[in-house]
Amino acid sequence: MSLLTTLARLEAVRAGVAQPLATVRHRHVSERPFALVPLAAAGETGAPLAMLLGSDREHPRLLTVPQPLDRDLRFAFLARLGDELLPYLESFGGDVELLERNVKDPESGEKTVEVRELCADAPQLIVPNPGGVELLGLFGRSTRFRRTAEDPDPGPYPAPARVPLLGRWLTHLSERANVPGSSMLLPLTSTLARHWATGQSSLEDAHLGALLAWIAPPEGSRGEQAASRAENGRDERGQLLVPPAGPATDPDFDSLLLAPAVTRYDAARSAQDEPLTRARAEEIEALLRSVLLPVWHQVWQGIDLLRELPPAAHVVERWEGDRWSYTGHRDRVAAGEPPQPLHDDAVTAARKLAQREREQVRVDLEEALDDPLAMAEHRLAGQAFAGEVVEVQPDYDTSGRSPKPRPLVTVRTEDRPHLDPGGEVHRAGGPSTQRAELAWLDAEAGLLTLRLLSGMGRKKEPEPGSVPEQGEQVCFTLFELSARQSAPLPDPEDTPWTHGGPPQ
């Protein structure tokens, strides 16, 4: 945790309300998001118990598994989840924009124009917390390889028709959620915690109810009281006032209410009393609805809070990455490609890691450029400085054939960058990318004299507007302002001997 975040948390404790960590919203929030609040059954990994879902906040759909250990009921649940979710996911596939790019034919070397489709928008799924993302990934893993009645060899236990397709989408979405800066499957707690500092630990921030209690405490109450009530408050039946946002349920709910209800359901079912079984299943539904509905409202409250922040400048650009990701998966499904493998081969794993590292660097840089509070972290760490230009002196590099502009810009700053003469800096928020080096510094007076090295055009005199003027506010960073390209990797069939050769 950075010093600035620690400070913000201390301020939050004093003020009794969460403090902003961002001036803008760093994640995309769709106009038509699809919220899911999943619950998992205790005792078995990835066993669904219930889910409240939908894109209509007034009319959520409830799906339940009255006996979570029953595989048929589980897959009936997943089939209904597919019925709810797949139409939403597929609804973005039709509206496309056409992009042209020049490509060279690898064999003939001829240049041709390739037209590619990019979906105009992409779906956005919002779950309460990272545990929800993980659970959806587990659903994907347990369903994408299932055979259905339509398969040539359906096997003894065919799954409902669209269940494997749902698994492939859930797998794709949960993988995409691991790419830094992506917004296609968004866990709410970590997204909110990126934008607000509460007066509690980051572990406690993982509780959606407590987190919202800090960000928007009820009238007349302080964050810590509201959070404490959200975490520990119980009613006369011993049930939590604010049920946990899943996927795990409260053990007291399980043992006092849910388990007896499931036992009654089992009894009715084994007596083959259909009306009674249905009544018992409805009892379970009512129970689960009572613990899911409060979370449902919290999720939409969180979305509202995020929507109040203006979007950061680079969010649209990053969302385009999600649109490409969506379009790519849509095309793979349409082309009839097999489901994603259980494990990545060596080359795919390395490619994914490279992509995630590149995106992490990119999102850190873009957040710093978009948000003065994010840049302040770097300034405090001595990795950036901001200040006013107090003097500009034209100067030239005459070593080459024609003189090049190398003006000296003196900046007064109160920041203390870890920078020695000769060190390279990069201009943030300038008209174009611009490098400079520190010519000399007067640490006492806070004066840094920089020699601009690039971004001034090709002529002897710098392009108008490319050199900051006296009195202008400028900001420079010690780190480069674009992510480095990743090195090429071999094709999977060329995996070298050091990595076990090509995958079988």
Partner 1 sequence: MSTHPSPAAAPTPGEQADAAVAAILASALHGGERGTVVDSPPGAGKSTLVVRAARELVATGERLMIVAQTNSQVDDLVDRLAQADAGLAVGRLHGSDALPSEIATRHAGVVASTKAADLRELPVVVATAAKWQWVRDTDPWHHAIVDEAYQMRSDALLAVARLFERALFVGDPGQLDPFSIVGTDDWAGLHHDPSQSAVVTLLAHNPGIVPHRLPVSWRLPASAAPLISDAFYPFTPFRAGTESGDRLLGLGPATPPPPAGLAPGLARAADEVLDVAAESGWGLLELPARLTVRTDPEAVAAVAAVVARLLARGGEARSERGTAPVDAERIAVGTAHRDQAAAVRAALAALGVTGVTVDTANRLQGREYDVTVVLHPLSGRPDATAFHLETGRLCVLASRHRHACVVVTRAGIPELLDAHPATEPVQLGVVSKFPDGWEANHAVLEHLRRHRVPVG
Helix segments in 97-222, DSSP class H: 130-143, 163-176, 188-195, 208-215
In whole angstroms, what is the distance from residue 371 CA to residue 378 CA?
Answer: 11
| Residue among 50 and 175 whose Cβ is closer to partner 1 | 175
| Residue among 20 and 500 whose Cβ is closer to partner 1 | 500
Long-range contacts of 266-269 (CB under 8 A, 24+ apart): 266/67, 269/67
| Residue among 148 and 355 whose Cβ is closer to partner 1 | 355
Tell me how far, at minimum, the Cβ of 190 lies from partner 1, in Å.
12
Tell me how far, at minimum, the Cβ of 486 lies from partner 1, in Å.
9
In whole angstroms, what is the distance from residue 280 CA to residue 481 CA?
Answer: 60
Residue ranges in contact with partner 1 by CB under 8 A? 3, 178, 180, 343-347, 349-350, 352-354, 356-357, 360-361, 381-382, 418, 487-490, 494-500
| Residue among 147 and 358 whose Cβ is closer to partner 1 | 358
Q: Which residues of 299-329 are buried (b: 16+ CB within 10 A; e: fewer)?
A: bbbbbebbeebebbebbeebbebbbebbbeb
Cβ atoms of 167 and 342 closer than 8 Å: no
Tell me how far, at minimum, the Cβ of 199 lies from partner 1, in Å.
17
| Residues with Cβ within 8 Å of residue 441, at least 6 apart in sequence | 419, 421, 447, 448, 449
Tell me how far, at minimum, the Cβ of 203 lies from partner 1, in Å.
12
Give the bridge partners for 96, in sequence order: 119
Tell me how far, at minimum, the Cβ of 47 lies from partner 1, in Å.
20
| Residue among 83 and 344 whose Cβ is closer to partner 1 | 344
| Residue among 30 and 189 whose Cβ is closer to partner 1 | 189
- Residue 68, classed as helix, strand or coil, is coil
- Residue 171, classed as helix, strand or coil, is helix
Please state the φ and ψ torsions of residue 20, each to the nearest 5 degrees: -65, 140
Tell me how far, at minimum, the Cβ of 201 lies from partner 1, in Å.
11
Tell me how far, at minimum, the Cβ of 451 lies from partner 1, in Å.
17
- Residue 57, classed as helix, strand or coil, is coil
| Residue among 103 and 349 whose Cβ is closer to partner 1 | 349
- Helix, strand, coil shares of the chain, percent, nearest 5, are 40, 20, 40
